[in-house]
Structure 1
Amino acid sequence: MKNLRMMTRRDWIASVAAAYGVVSQRVNAAPVKSVETKSIAAVVSIYEPKTHADVLVGKILEGWKQDGGAGPALKLSSLYVDQFTDLDLSRKMAAKYNVPIFDSIEKAVTVGTDRIPVDGVISIGEHGEYPINAKGQHLYPRRRFFKEITDTFQKYDRVVPVFNDKHPGPVWADAKWMYDRAQEMKVPFMAGSSLPLTYRKPELNLPLGSEIEAAVGIGYSELDRYGFHALECFQCLVERRRGAESGVEWVQYLDGDAMWNVLDEGLVSQAVFDAALAAVPKVRQGDVRDDPDAGLFLFKYNDGFVGALFMLQSVNRTSVALKLKGQEKPVATQFEERTEPAHPHFAYLLKSIERMIHTGRPSYPVERTLLTSGMLDRALTSRLQGGKRLETPELAIRYQPVDYPHAPLPDLSANPSQPLAR
């Protein structure tokens, strides 16, 4: 494979813009007038400022920057809110934009009629007061939301695309049930994190079929909530290795001396770990090995590739480093989490959702998120069981990755129905 150099941002934008036929990089460029606006129903757990409901649904209502400027070719037709809080924003936004709030998911999907008039559904089961189980999983009502959405599809004999924010489940049995039901009912289904679509610092554009010899990820904060983001970032790069994805053979959680022994004994490359660590900002000084709350998700893929995701509390961002065949030094990138304007990485996630709703086809495989959901659930199960290595035949999930771009591409003003040029 040709050497993968770390491009300048200008070089990369120019090359990818040419490949994708992009005509504008301006977030606030006027949308193409010939594009028909599609309608969606939103099903959310809570809707407070800066929640996932705000930074996704709010962009449909108020534009990509949530400043009243241009936005996606989507219209919010209805809203269901599971919990109204003291900081609730949904009633204010609904009144401002004349959007009805319904007291059931069925009514939201049907917009209070006897049919399904919307073109898609966005389901956001994130944030709110919900129980936490012994594994530390926040039991958001994602399966319940999806069941009621798809029950409505069955009742009214119409299926439309559905996006599930973050990981389905989060318990593996629920994630698998949701995936199987989508397959059975032929629901165009997407899920996942915003971070695979965010800006990368430095820019790293990895070709499909790359010869990856080793990979290390670094995540931070809560194992369930942010461990999922970190696994999605890791998977969106390692899925591009030669042979594509065939699933995961086993998963293990390690902490204390056991997690650092994988570096000392050479199971995981110290050089690749160091490259990943250098890509993220530190919030705690001193030796990273003194981090008392650090943990490791260790896993082996069915093709023999070993993955390692270090969850550290001494950093506050996510990174992935890769050792590529033929290159002496690892390459690494940080997955940025910008807050202004209005958490822009969610605009690029919404662009992929917009595309699915307009085309009727997922922008990238939901199987990636099914796999990361299973890996996370099994890692947390291993932790509960004292670090036991768990064989995972249920994670023999095969899929072919697609070359969907990350920020600042695709152009947010581009026609969502137009195929990505190659």
Structure 2
Amino acid sequence: MAPNVTSGKRPRLAGVVTAYRRYLHPQHVIDRFLDGYGWNGVYHHPPMDVVSLYVDQHGEGDLFQERADRHPKMKICSSIEDTLTLGTSKLAVDGVVVVAEHGVYPLSPNGIMMRPHYEFFEKITNVFRSSGHSVPYFNDKELSWNWDWCKKMVDVSHELNFPLQGGSSLAVTWRIPSAEFPLDATVKEALSVGYGGMTSYDFHGLETIQCMVERRKGGETGVEWIQTYRKDAFWKAYEDKVWSHDLMRAALSRSFTIRPGAATFTNDLPTVDQMKAMVPDPVAYQYKHRDGLLSTMILLYGMVRDFTFAATIEGQSKPFSTQMHLPMPDGRTTLASFFSPLVNNAEKMFLTGKAQYPIERTLLTSGLLIAGVESDKKGRRLETPNLAAVRYQPNPESTYWRS
């Protein structure tokens, strides 16, 4: 099935989202396509139009009708099929923007919210099949809460020959310092430190690591096993130096938001006892790649409010480290500007018909989230033959937002 690549006209986009209220991901993403955003010293208006929108859950604070009133070319639709066909019997748009983050859905047996990424995908690709052609597809954040569905989404995108691009804004936002991970580097250990909880912000921490280490020598080779450490098990693993303290300190040295250990304020790192008092539910996912690389994703909610990264690179005397800048709109900022590079990379996909970074990255990080939650529930290391099979090469071109 040949993709329908737009040429010589403004692409028409269909939006398919779970909810559309202030500060939710759908609002951040769709608003940028509708109203534009600041980009590299200008106010940028995407050269494409959102012509239809499906919103799965309605409620107090909805914004989609106001957006439709201001953008009368955008039709509010009652079904995904109508959103893609515009009331005809065939696909009538040039690209699809899916944002299935947020909304309220049941929990899986392991406690992951069963957001309808895959259900949306099935309905959208059914229209592709019945129409005999496909269009570029953007999927915000993870692919699904179910591994088999994650894998099927990627397989179907290859079968129907359309670019599928997804993942977290952490992979494309500003970095402080502004530094790209060296291509073909030999990496011994990598680590990220972030905040938030499991089944949501853990995905951002995993993407922080993966967008870096996929650039190592040989590319991504797959992940053999994962083990989750939480609460008391986390502190025992910390004291046993299951992950490098030097890397953890290097990552934390890039943080802007470390909570001082003393009430009188200090720039020193908090002591272990102070960290324990600040962080009631610390989490670490540690996993081993097939080429021997050891990665650890850490969440220290209560001590930090940003995402940092560090890695040991052969031939470098000190760790490579940086911050993925995530200025959250809770008083520190108003615009959640880290969504701008996510949308800008989606624009490039819609215009060129080519994904800007491999969907296999999002497949792997989605699978790591699922496996990390399962490891926590089972209380042991989990072998991951499904993730060992996820092997790919990175886009050698850099896609993060320069400051």
Identity %: 36
Structure 2 residue corresponding to 1:380, chosen from 369, 373, 383: 373
Query: What is the CA-CA distance between 1:346 and the residue it aligns to?
Result: 1.0
Aligned partner of 1:371 in structure 2 is 364
The equivalent position to 2:258 in structure 1, one of 272, 279, 282, is 282
Deviation at 1:54, TM superposition (A): 1.3
Take 1:289 and 1:205, find their aligned partners in 2: how far apart are those partners? 33
Corresponding residue SS for 1:183 = helix
Q: Which residue of 2 aligns with 1:408?
A: 402
2:15 alignment partner, one of 42, 45, 53: 42
**1:10 corresponding residue in structure 2:** none
Q: Is it true that 1:123 corresponds to 2:98 in the alignment?
A: yes
Q: Kindly provide the amino acid, as one letter, of the partner of residue 246 in structure 2.
A: A
- TM-superposed deviation, 1:51: 1.4
- What's the offset of the Cα at 1:91? 0.7
Distance 2:402 2:48 in 1: 20
Separation (CA, whole Å) in 2 of partners of 1:316 and 1:126: 20
- 1:325, CA displacement in angstroms? 1.7
Partner in structure 1 of residue 35 of structure 2 = 62
| Cα drift, residue 64 of structure 1 | 1.5
- Please state if 1:96 is matched with 2:88: no
Q: Deviations over 1:100-151 (max 9, x none)?
A: 1110000001122222221100111011121223423111111110010001
Q: Which of 136, 144, 161 is 1:169 aligned to? A: 144
Shift of 1:184: 2.1
In structure 2, the partner of 1:356 is: 349
Matched, 1:392 2:384: yes
Residue 334 of structure 1 corresponds to which residue in structure 2? 323
Deviations 1:191-241 (A, max 9, x none): 111111101122222221112222111121121110001100110111111
Please tell me whether residue 108 in structure 1 is matched to residue 49 in structure 2: no
Q: Could you tell me whether the CA contact under 8 Å between 1:65 and 1:342 is conserved in 2? A: no
Deviations 1:363-385 (A, max 9, x none): 11000000000011000001111
Distance between the aligned counterparts of 2:66 and 2:401, measured in 1? Answer: 31
Alignment CA distance shift 1:93-1:264 (3 Å): same
Instruction: Report the counterpart of residue 196 of structure 1 in structure 2.
Output: 171
Task: Give the match's secondary structure for 1:154.
Answer: helix
Distance 1:35 1:132 in 2: 45
Structure-2 residue corresponding to 1:345: 338
Call closer, same or farther: CA 1:243–1:261 in 2, change over 3 Å: farther
Equivalent-residue separation in structure 1 for 2:238 and 2:258 (angstroms): 20
1:273 is aligned, of 239, 248, 252, to 248
AA in 1 matched with 2:383: E
User: Which SS does the other structure have where 2:50 is aligned?
Assistant: strand
- The answer to whether the Cα contact below 8 Å between 1:109 and 1:116 also exists between their aligned partners in 2 is yes
**Count of residue pairs the alignment pairs up:** 374
TM (norm. structure 2) is 0.88
Unpaired runs of at least 5, structure 1: 1-33, 410-422
Q: Which moved more, 1:96-105 or 1:186-195?
A: 186-195
Determine the C-alpha separation between the residues in 1 that align with 2:10 and 2:321: 39
Equivalent pair of 2:90/2:127 in contact (CA under 8 Å): no
Tell me whether 131-140 or 234-243 shows the greater mean CA deviation. 131-140
Contact kept in structure 1, 2:90 and 2:130, CA below 8 Å = no
- Any unmatched runs of 5+ in structure 2? 1-6, 262-269
C-alpha distance in structure 2 between counterparts of 1:131 and 1:227, whole Å: 19
Shift of 1:69: 4.5
Given that residues 65 and 341 in structure 1 are in contact (C-alpha distance below 8 angstroms), is that contact kept between their aligned partners in structure 2?
no
Question: Tell me, what secondary structure is at the counterpart of 1:250?
Answer: strand
CA contact (8 A) 2:225 2:288 kept: yes
Partner Cα distance (2:43, 2:324) in 1: 26
Q: Which amino acid aligns with 1:404?
A: S
| Partner deviation per Cα, 1:8-28 (whole Å, 9 max, x = no partner) | xxxxxxxxxxxxxxxxxxxxx
Question: Cα distance 1:148–1:292, how it changes in 2: closer, same or farther (>3 A)?
Answer: same
Aligned to 1:206: 181
Would the alpha carbon gap of residues 69 and 243 (structure 1) be closer, same or farther in structure 2, given more than 3 Å must change?
Answer: closer
User: In structure 2, what is the equivalent of residue 153 of structure 1?
Assistant: 128
Partners of 2:199 and 2:231 lie apart in 1 by 19
> Deviation of residue 264 (structure 1)?
4.0
Distance in 2 between residues matched to 1:51 and 1:315, nearest whole Å: 22
1:96 Cα deviation (Å)? 1.1
Instruction: Compute the TM-score of the two structures, normalised by the length of structure 1.
Output: 0.84
**1:263 to partner: Cα distance:** 4.3
Root-mean-square deviation over aligned CA pairs: 2.0
Q: Distance in 1 between matches of 2:11 and 2:20?
A: 22
Which amino acid is 1:319 matched to?
T
Name the SS for the 1:198 alignment partner: coil
1:323–1:329: 8 Å Cα contact kept in structure 2? yes
Matched, 1:305 2:303: no
Determine if the alignment matches structure 1 residue 84 to structure 2 residue 76: no
Distance 1:383 1:284 in 2: 29
Match of 1:372, SS?
helix
Aligned pair in 2 of structure 1 residues 305, 289: CA closer, same or farther (>3 Å)?
farther
1:143·1:178 contact (CA, 8 Å) conserved in 2?
yes
Asked if 1:241 corresponds to 2:229, the answer is: no
1:63 and 1:184 mapped to 2: Cα distance?
Answer: 33
Q: Quote the Cα distance in structure 1 between the aligned partners of 2:357 and 2:23.
A: 26
CA distance in structure 1 between the aligned counterparts of 2:14 and 2:286, rounded to whole angstroms: 39
